Structure 1
Amino acid sequence: MAGMNAVRTPPTKVSWLRRIAFGLVLVVLALVGGTAFRVWQVARDNDRTPADVIVVLGAAQYNGKPSDIFSARLEKARQLYAAGVAKTVVTAGGKKEADNYTEAAAGARWLTQHGVPRSATLAVGEGSDTLRSLRAVAEQVQARGWHTVVLVSDPWHSYRARTMTEDLGLDAWVAPTHSGPIVQERSTQVRYIVRETGALLFYELTNSPADELFDTVLG
């Protein structure tokens, strides 16, 4: 009976602050975990729905020769073109100050060397990061009356690229590459999922790119 008659002590200010802090931590964990799951989930897509254009996101190139990562993306785009997914392949990406080629030009060159007609390629050699490259692509695509795009990039990059493309007013779906250095080792996959989760959350909070920031932090 004594226990039943005990007076419940009201929560103190400190306990309320602890509850609020704990709740905020749970919200943040749910947001990060949910975003990471979507990055992983979209990475598994392979949407071959016909579109106006195929857009290949650029990666490193060496005096006109695409890196292994870039070559894997270009090969996937070539396969999509050969399957009739779109009649035009857009290559994206600018260049560093000392480079002789833009990523876009190197990509278009690779495609023509591997059977894609030059008339079916469009190189958009602007942008030093994903967002700026996609802005330049969207401008060129929309100027030609095109509205739908299939994005080709690495699996873990696909969700962020699709989100940015849709924010730029295009209908987009993804057909990421599932070959190349990025998908060969589980440790590399985990690192890129972490990178892309952080970069996407940064973009959604600031509407700014975070490629260079997360490349520096994660290597």
Structure 2
Amino acid sequence: MTHRSVLLKPLRRGIWRYLRDADVLHGAVVTLVALVGTGGLLYVGYLLHVARVALRSPLEPTRRLAVLVFGRMLVSDRPEHDYRQRLARSLLLAQQGLAERVMLLGGRSGGSTMTEAAAGERWLRDEGFPGVVPMQLEQASIDSLENLRHARSLLARDDESLPPVCLVTSRYHLARCQLLARRLGFDVETVGAEAALPRNVRYLRRIALEAGYLMWIDIAVRWARLIGHRRMADRVS
């Protein structure tokens, strides 16, 4: 892999790959104007929301649900630290009888030869995942929005309704996944991968970054609906 490819790899994942999209850039400009117009207070509101969801999300759902586990970029085709925490939480829910089924979300990441979902399945099987709990793999997506869109297709019932779901991911990631899932029509509960909210610089940076993502997505969709820009609003639907 060339040095240039290594540098560009992060831009091919997640929200960055949408920067070539005119509608997404439109939303970014509107969000920036709103941010400047509020003197930064708009961002503070989203930051507090992301932190609140991260802090308050429980360790188990209130009922037995379909569990959606968000993947993360692999390291040498193996789950890295954050992903292992997500998998471990889903394993515990399955062992406690709180998982109606477990769906692992994530396609190929970076230069990996294995999908995130397949690597997660291998890890769970090695850790003694209970065979009585059905496991599904969603292996076509490369970001959280695609994760949920494909999960919606796989979970849709014959009448096109969706079962309620439990989202399992790192605490810093929960607020964005919750927003996207609700916009896509899911009835959701959130469960944090970590036993408690970590207090370290890395985690604070993650929460700060997620607040920016969430603000961008939410403001852009609200603006699109306000001006009747159907195509732009449909980006998150």
TM-score by length of 1: 0.75
1:70–1:24: structure 2 CA closer, same or farther, 3 Å change rule? closer
Alignment match, 2:38: 27
Q: Which SS does the other structure have where 1:190 is aligned?
A: helix
Aligned partners of 1:24, 1:57: CA distance in 2, in Å?
29
Q: Does 1:161 align with 2:174?
A: no
Q: Does 1:52 align with 2:68?
A: no
Aligned partners of 1:58, 1:96: CA distance in 2, in Å?
10
Q: Which SS does the other structure have where 1:62 is aligned?
A: coil
CA contact (8 A) 1:58 1:70 kept: yes
1:185–1:201: structure 2 CA closer, same or farther, 3 Å change rule? same
> Which of the pair has the greater relative contact order for Cα pairs under 8 Å at 6+ separation?
2
Alignment match, 2:148: 134
Alignment match, 2:53: 42
1:189–1:170: structure 2 CA closer, same or farther, 3 Å change rule? same
CA contact (8 A) 2:73 2:110 kept: no
Aligned partners of 1:102, 1:205: CA distance in 2, in Å?
32
1:34–1:156: structure 2 CA closer, same or farther, 3 Å change rule? same
1:149 aligned to 151, 165, 169, which one?
A: 165
Aligned partners of 1:174, 1:97: CA distance in 2, in Å?
27
Alignment match, 1:75: 88
1:120–1:186: structure 2 CA closer, same or farther, 3 Å change rule? same
For these two proteins, the number of residue pairs brought into alignment is 183
TM-score by length of 2: 0.69
Which stretches in structure 1 are left out of the alignment for 5+ residues? 1-22, 208-219
Q: Which has the larger radius of gyration?
A: 1
Aligned partners of 1:64, 1:131: CA distance in 2, in Å?
22
Following superposition, the deviation at residue 99 of structure 1 comes to: 2.2
CA contact (8 A) 1:66 1:106 kept: yes
Aligned partners of 1:56, 1:122: CA distance in 2, in Å?
10
CA contact (8 A) 1:56 1:152 kept: yes
Following superposition, the deviation at residue 84 of structure 1 comes to: 1.7
1:103 aligned to 108, 116, 119, which one?
A: 116
State the Cα deviation string for residues 74-94 of structure 1 (Å, max 9, x = none). Answer: 001111111222221110011
The alignment yields a C-alpha RMSD, in angstroms, of 2.4
Further displaced range: 94-103 or 23-32 = 23-32
State the Cα deviation string for residues 115-169 of structure 1 (Å, max 9, x = none). Answer: 2245621110121111111111121112476421111111111010011011111
Question: Aligned residues: percent identity?
Answer: 26
Q: Does 1:200 align with 2:211?
A: no
Q: Which SS does the other structure have where 2:68 is aligned?
A: strand
Q: Which SS does the other structure have where 1:89 is aligned?
A: strand
Aligned partners of 1:146, 1:83: CA distance in 2, in Å?
23
